[in-house]
């Protein structure tokens, strides 16, 4: 079964790039109730719409400023800090490079606003390692909607059973599995590397960081 898997699909945030929304919020706001602040920002309906390309940056700023009861300038600072805080995880970049050297097809499938992805795409050089990058805001679909997984499968004529998907959200992984895609719930980068290496029976060597 594992030998048939030749396509590895990575989420980006908290898998390939660091994603610590609580730290990002604290970089701009004095947060007394993090759960409530998350609900007004990164877990809000507005952010989900922004992720899916259904809300413009201007609209997001206005709506989120109302949610948080702050200035639009503060929301602009928050958005700038999101892109700054999304730093590559070197071990995961190295893993992707190793997979490419071994002949695997590697894809990214991520919920992300287009403006933030564009900033990251221009800054970092590792994106060429991916055979394709599917961003929710660009295709107007978002995880866990099964259609975004199917979009990737159809675009590249991939059989679900020939794919494995890594994501830090258990619901996203569960939906992938419901479509026949193998899945790994990412807890941290070392666990993800170990689980994928075991699944694919990768050579036991430290991949060179790109």
- Give me 92's structure tokens: 């995961």
Query: Please, are residues 140 and 173 in contact by the beta-carbon 8 Å criterion?
Result: no
Per-residue pLDDT band for 210 (boundaries 50, 70, 90) equals very low
**Pick the residue with more confidence: 4 or 25?**
25
pLDDT, mean over the chain: 94
* Residue 205: predicted pLDDT: 56
Find the Cα–Cα–Cα–Cα dihedral 121, 123, 125, 127, rounded to 10°. Answer: -20
**Cα–Cα distance between 101 and 153 in angstroms, integer?**
22
Phi-psi region of 165 (alpha: psi -120 to 50; beta: other; left: phi over 0): beta
* Residue 137: predicted pLDDT: 97
Tens digit of pLDDT for each residue in 18-43? 999 999 999 999 999 999 999 999 99
Tens digit of pLDDT for each residue in 74-90? 999 999 999 999 999 99
* Residue 206: predicted pLDDT: 53
Q: Can you give the chain as a three-state secondary structure string?
A: CHHHCCEEEECCECCCECCCHHHHHHCCCCCCCHHHHHHHCCCCHHHHHHHCCCCCHHHHHHHHHHHHCCCHHHHHHHHHHHHHHCCECHHHHHHHHHHHHCCCEEEEEECCCHHHHHHHHHHCCHHHHCCEEEEHHHHCCCCCCHHHHHHHHHHCCCCHHHEEEEECCHHHHHHHHHCCCEEEECCCHHHHHHHHHHHHCCCCCCCCCC
* Residue 203: predicted pLDDT: 81
Domain ranges of the chain: 2-18+87-200, 21-85
Q: Over range 150-154, report the average pLDDT.
A: 98
| pLDDT greater than 60 at residue 1 | no
Per-residue pLDDT band for 6 (boundaries 50, 70, 90) equals very high
The percent of residues above 70 in pLDDT, for the chain, comes to: 95
Please give the CATH topology (third level) of the domain spanning 2-18+87-200: Rossmann fold (3.40.50)
């Amino acid at each position: 079964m594992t030998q048939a898997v030749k396509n590895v699909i990575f989420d980006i945030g908290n898998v390939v790039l660091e994603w610590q929304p609580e730290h990002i919020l604290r970089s701009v706001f004095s947060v007394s109730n993090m759960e409530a602040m998350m609900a007004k920002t990164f877990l809000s309906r507005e952010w989900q719409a922004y992720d899916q390309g259904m809300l413009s940056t201007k609209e997001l700023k206005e709506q989120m400023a109302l949610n948080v009861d702050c200035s639009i300038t503060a929301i602009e600072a928050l958005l700038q800090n999101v892109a700054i805080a999304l730093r590559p995880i070197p071990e995961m970049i190295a893993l992707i490079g190793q997979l490419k050297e071994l002949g695997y097809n590697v894809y990214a499938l991520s919920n992300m606003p287009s403006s933030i992805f564009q900033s990251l795409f221009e800054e970092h050089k590792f994106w060429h390692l991916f055979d394709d990058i599917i961003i929710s805001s660009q295709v107007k679909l978002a995880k866990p909607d099964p259609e975004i997984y199917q979009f990737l499968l159809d675009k590249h004529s991939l059989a679900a059973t020939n794919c494995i998907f890594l994501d830090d959200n258990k619901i996203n992984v569960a939906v992938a599995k419901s479509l026949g895609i193998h899945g790994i719930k990412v807890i941290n980068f070392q666990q993800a590397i170990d689980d994928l290496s075991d699944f694919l029976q990768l050579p036991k060597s430290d991949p060179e960081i790109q």
